Amino acid sequence: MTRKVHVHLVTPVVTKGIRDMNEIAPFARPDLIFSQSELDIGPPSIECEFDEALAVPDTIAKAIAAEQAGADAVIIDCMGDPGLHPVREALHIPVLGPGETTMHWAAMLGHRFSIVTVLESVKPMLTSMTRRYGVDSKFASCRVVDVPVLELVERFAEVQQRLAEQARAAVLEDDAHAIILGCTGFIGCASTIDAFLKADGITVPVLDPIPVTVCMAEAMVRAGLSHSRRTYPTPRPKANIGFAMPTGWPAP
């Protein structure tokens, strides 16, 4: 019998319902199940490093809770990968960020990738990540649709149109060979954009971050791998103020 893999998503914002699990359901299988949580403390959406910073402490807490509840892997459900490194220090199971995952997948799928994201304010954050992750030699450009995260749902048709136009411009003007949808709120848009590009004779992979990261999380669990303790050392117990140490952790 096949081992069942349980992947937990921490959506690192306080906006209840922003992550519709029906969108992820098509990727579930009898031996791949999902759970999800949102934050109690943090920002309603993430559009710069200030927003990220406020999201991280409770993201860590929610990720620890997920591991303790039996998850096999945790995904931080935001392209900026807020808290990716501290969460890896705190957990033992694989912890994945859609930013890091899609950038490495794109680097394997073609020579150069572009990212199309929500707002100008997100560009410095994503560009900086390409350096930290060591994929900057594969990075072509970052473009935006200029729509805030919390307006994505209501302006869906407009968002898809702009995504497609910016993706085409990335290919034709910036010489992108692959396109990363640069916000996890763009879930489900890849096939429309792919069709739009193909109508122009352009065949490049369009990476939808959450599906890609879910598949990668399962792959990493089935391969029996987790992150390096030499890169992500276990935190020493300390008398932190304002952040309850998780149940079961050694006393400081």
Q: Which is nearer to a copy of itself, 35 or 127 (CB)?
A: 127
Residue 213 and residue 90: Cα distance in Å, rounded? Answer: 20
Of 103, 230, 231, which is closest to residue 179 (Cα–Cα)?
103
136 is a contact residue toward a copy of itself (CB under 8 A): yes
**Local structure of residue 147 (DSSP, 8 states):** -
C-alpha distances in Å from residue 131, one per residue of 7, 53, 124, 135: 28, 19, 11, 6
57 binds a copy of itself (CB under 8 A): yes
Choose, by CB under 8 A, the member of 21, 41, 153, 195 that binds a copy of itself: 41
Interface of this chain with a copy of itself, residues 192 to 231, rule: CB under 8 A: 202-205, 207-208, 211-212, 215-216, 218-220, 222-231
Q: Which stretch binds a copy of itself (CB under 8 A): 25-33, 71-79, 161-169, 180-188?
A: 25-33
Which residues lie closer than 8 Å to 138 by C-beta, 6 or more apart?
Answer: 103, 106, 107, 111, 112, 113, 130
Total binding residues toward a copy of itself, as defined by CB under 8 A: 91
Q: Tell me the closest approach of the beta carbon of residue 20 to a copy of itself, in angstroms.
A: 19
- Closer by beta carbon to a copy of itself, 31 or else 154: 31
Kindly tell me which residue out of 23, 35, 104, 155 binds a copy of itself, with binding defined by CB under 8 A: 104
52: contact with a copy of itself by CB under 8 A: yes
Q: How many CA atoms lie within 13 A of 134 on its CB side?
A: 0
